[in-house]
Amino acid sequence: MEVELMKTEIDKVFDLQKTHSLNMRSSTAEERIGLLRSLHDWVLEHREDIKKAMYADYRKPYTETDITEIYPVLSEAKHTIKCLKNWMKTKRVPTPVTFLGTKAHIQFEPKGSSLIIAPWNYPFNLAICPLVSALSAGCTVMIKPSEMTPHTSALIKQMISELFSENLVSVIEGGLEASQLLLAKPFDHIFFTGSPMVGKIVMRSASDHLGSVTLELGGKSPVVIAPDADLKDAARKIASTKFINCGQTCVAPDFVLVPRSLRDEFVQNLNEAIDTLYSSDGQGVEKSADYGRIVNERHFNRLNQLVEEACKNGATLAKGGKNIPEENFIEPTILTMVKENMMVMEDEIFGPLLPIMDYENIDDALNFINKMPKPLALYAFSKSDKKLGYIFRKTSSGPAVSTDCV
Ligand code: NAD
């Protein structure tokens, strides 16, 4: 769509929704539950279309779409349908002595008009789960799905136009221009999922209107293997969470810190775990129906450059190295002898590359984590609760997970 046309469309829908958001203030739990039911049923009925759209976008395996896109949306809708009446109830709260003789209560109200900007890596889930929240909270919603997954974005547009009037929910497709035009509007709340860099732009734009934001961003999520960890179990769990969606998961294990004396045994276990997952028939990962692809050529090239630079500076390729440019295929890749100044240790990897760094003393590993920006998530493997407690007390992160990942 041309920019001028897009602007006209956005201005029109924004005004319609602003007006309608006032009606939504008095919407009842039953009315909102009705909206959620119709959304839930549409998703259930169109499972095959959703799978096909994501396969067309980046060969996302059907089973992965079931588990990571369709199931989360259905369960989020179901949970909300079950709880909404209770969540909306006005709650009595005590007043302090200084207001003797008064009564107080908390009455929940919708924020008003909201905007959801979604990323491409779980393109359905991360656009529609926030929609469930926004509708249950009585907000109007404009959704901007990612331009990098056009088949899924078109399906989301179709779904929304079949289910809702545009003064309640509407989809604006497009890239940077669409985002910028939307961010110029005074939304009451913006829900953004994406990179930290664009998160800053969103927060800055919201501040122009003093709108509130929810930012779901990315980052590096380390795994710490303690000296007493069950290496086989750790390798199996790391492999299955790292390489799902071809490593393009915000909370995927980004790199592993392992005791030097256990490195080779751990890598051996990891190699075996990867083969069991994707090449148990010995045909190679590229033949597996369970392994996805990199979303586009730009990211394919970016990831290959990371491997090249690491190897040039002394890293060893302990697994991987195969890629197929015409398919944006990159094999699960393990790098050892990785150093902190390599490019692969700078930003979130967001692909099927797993650097392994070894350590002599666990405090060195934890100090290294503490020097980096706060991890989005942190994973630790040990047989001892005491050791796990030590790791989590000495670090700070988003979710901190014992003996598992993601
Ligand atoms: P991105 O930040 O590049 O894009 C996200 C959205 O912002 C897209 O819809 C895009 O069109 C829009 N956008 C891009 N540049 C913009 C700009 N300059 N101004 C305004 N809008 C702009 O992210 P992505 O590549 O789509 O997704 C990957 C990132 O998302 C990773 O960092 C990942 O960790 C993160 N992520 C986080 C979570 C979470 O829940 N924390 C979940 C999934 C992905």
The pLDDT tens digits for 353-382 are: 999 999 999 999 999 999 999 999 999 999
pLDDT (0 to 100) of residue 49: 98
Cβ-count burial of 98 within 10 angstroms (0-12 exposed, 13-18 middle, 19+ buried)? exposed
Place of tokens 């901190």: 400
Place of tokens 């056009």: 150
| Residue stretches of the chain with pLDDT short of 70 | none
Q: Give pTM, 2 decimals.
A: 0.94
Among 129, 250, 331, 405, the active-site one is 250
pLDDT (0 to 100) of residue 222: 98
Which uninterrupted H or E stretch holds 255? strand 255-259
Residue nearest to atom 9 of ligand 1 (CA): 146
pLDDT (0 to 100) of residue 176: 95
**CB 126 less than 6 A from any atom of ligand 1:** yes
Provide the residue count of the chain. Answer: 406
pLDDT (0 to 100) of residue 67: 96
Cβ-count burial of 122 within 10 angstroms (0-12 exposed, 13-18 middle, 19+ buried)? buried
pLDDT (0 to 100) of residue 321: 86
Among 216, 272, 286, 348, the active-site one is 216
**CB 117 less than 6 A from any atom of ligand 1:** yes
**CB 144 less than 6 A from any atom of ligand 1:** yes
Q: How far apart are CA 88 and CA 65, in angstroms?
A: 32
pLDDT (0 to 100) of residue 280: 87
Q: Check the CA dihedral 371-374-375-379 and report its sign.
A: positive
Q: How far apart are CA 174 and CA 179, in angstroms?
A: 8
Calculate how far, in angstroms, residue 336's C-alpha sits from the geometric centre of ligand 1.
29
Residue nearest to atom 30 of ligand 1 (CA): 194
pLDDT (0 to 100) of residue 282: 86
Express each pLDDT in 60-97 by its tens digit. Answer: 999 999 999 999 999 999 999 999 999 999 999 999 99
Examine the residue annotation and report whether 250 is marked as an active-site residue of this protein: yes
Examine the residue annotation and report whether 216 is marked as an active-site residue of this protein: yes
**CB 217 less than 6 A from any atom of ligand 1:** yes
